[in-house]
Amino acid sequence: ATVEPGVVTEAFQNAVKEVGLFYPPDPASKGSCFLGGNLSQSSGGPKAVKYGTTRDYVLNLQVVLPTGEVIWTGANTLKYATGYNLTQLMVGSEGTLGIITRVVFRLLPYPQHNILMLVPFRQEAQAAEAVSAVFRAGVIPSGMEFMEREAIAWSSDYLKIPLTLPADITAHLLIELDGQDLDQLYKEAEQVYEVLEKYDVGEILLADTAGQKDELWRIRRNIGNSVRYNSVYKEEDTVVPRAELPTLLKGVKEIGRRYGFKSVCYGHAGDGNLHVNIIRGELSDEQWNVGLREPISEIFQLCVQLGGTISGEHGIGLVQKPFMHIALKEANLNLMRGIKQVFDPAGILNPGKIF
């Protein structure tokens, strides 16, 4: 499909669905975000765990360079081995190298069936541990979302969707399976249940109807909005190998205790992408504007130590610039600066971003 970057992501998904095709990347803001923004960050979303991020669906880009010259970066083919891959260089470059004016996406057949379950855990550490256990059982979900108790409670209240949360439940996993063969999905669901039996879980909710599935996904997708509604906050887009998710979650909470802040965590557990929302609460202006730099640095250092990095899908922009040295050596940063200099020596495209 050839499309322009000003198209809203969900509108594009709906258009291709009408002809039986599937564009998987589905950021939480898919109803309002644009494909151009998704390209700039290589946005992911819940389905990235099975289907990958935006960059995995880009075949070719029409780009206006800072000189005004217009180029196509690749070819409309599944294979491309003709010199450097300028297409992939552009994706995720945050608008600093060129202006994307057209994009050629590859699409998939639309999955005809899905199963969705909401799994409550009495220990949030076990929820994080269960993520890798599902994959070790040979199941690749199309969604594997982690939500702390406060995250799901805030979102359901924000949307006014009734949801019973027993007092002993501390976290949930929202697990989706999809495919063309419903019998196979039932077998995979049984495998997931067998894994979950090893953990201290509450009553699993299996969504029976399309309406119930939609409500659960609305709750998940509106956590960010509900956090914004309830508090001033800072969001960090941490990512680690999924096997390290329990260690990251434990570390984030320990850092919060030491520095006196509360966090609400949720995210794409299946690919190790944990959104850490630091809640302002009673923090002073000094603590909020200056004092958080050190604990945020510690969180990012932990991510890198665990084999991860400081942003999984939200990009760097201005906010994360001061922390780039934690994730990358100066040699890496110099290579990036060199690429920027070749494309945009005058520095006119999205100046001041990334480094």
Split at pLDDT 50, 70, 90, the class of 201 is very high
49-69 mean pLDDT: 98
% of the chain beyond a pLDDT of 90:
100
Backbone angles phi, psi at 170, to 5 degrees: -110, -15
- pLDDT computed for residue 294 by the predictor: 98
Question: With helix as H, strand as E and coil as C, how does 138-196 read?
Answer: CCCCCEEEEEEHHHHHHHHHHHCCCCCCCCCCCEEEEEEEEECCHHHHHHHHHHHHHHH
pLDDT, tens digit, for every residue of 138-195? 999 999 999 999 999 999 999 999 999 999 999 999 999 999 999 999 999 999 999 9
29-43 mean pLDDT: 97
Domains of the chain: 2-109 (3.30.465.10), 113-224 (3.30.70.2190), 231-315 (3.30.70.2740)
- pLDDT computed for residue 275 by the predictor: 98
pLDDT, tens digit, for every residue of 92-132? 999 999 999 999 999 999 999 999 999 999 999 999 999 99
Split at pLDDT 50, 70, 90, the class of 295 is very high
Type and span of the H or E element at 108: strand 108-109
pLDDT, tens digit, for every residue of 303-334? 999 999 999 999 999 999 999 999 999 999 99
Rounded to the nearest 10 degrees, what angle do helices 210-221 and 223-230 cross at? 50
Residue 99 burial (CB < 10 Å; 0-12/13-18/19+)? middle
Tokens coding 34:
């644009």
Residue 192 burial (CB < 10 Å; 0-12/13-18/19+)? buried
Please, what is the average pLDDT of the chain? 98
- 34 pLDDT above the threshold of 90: yes
- pLDDT computed for residue 355 by the predictor: 86
Q: Whole-model pTM above 0.85?
A: yes
237-266 mean pLDDT: 98
- pLDDT computed for residue 152 by the predictor: 98
In which region does residue 93 sit, left (phi positive, over 0), alpha (psi from -120 to 50) or beta (all else)?
Answer: alpha
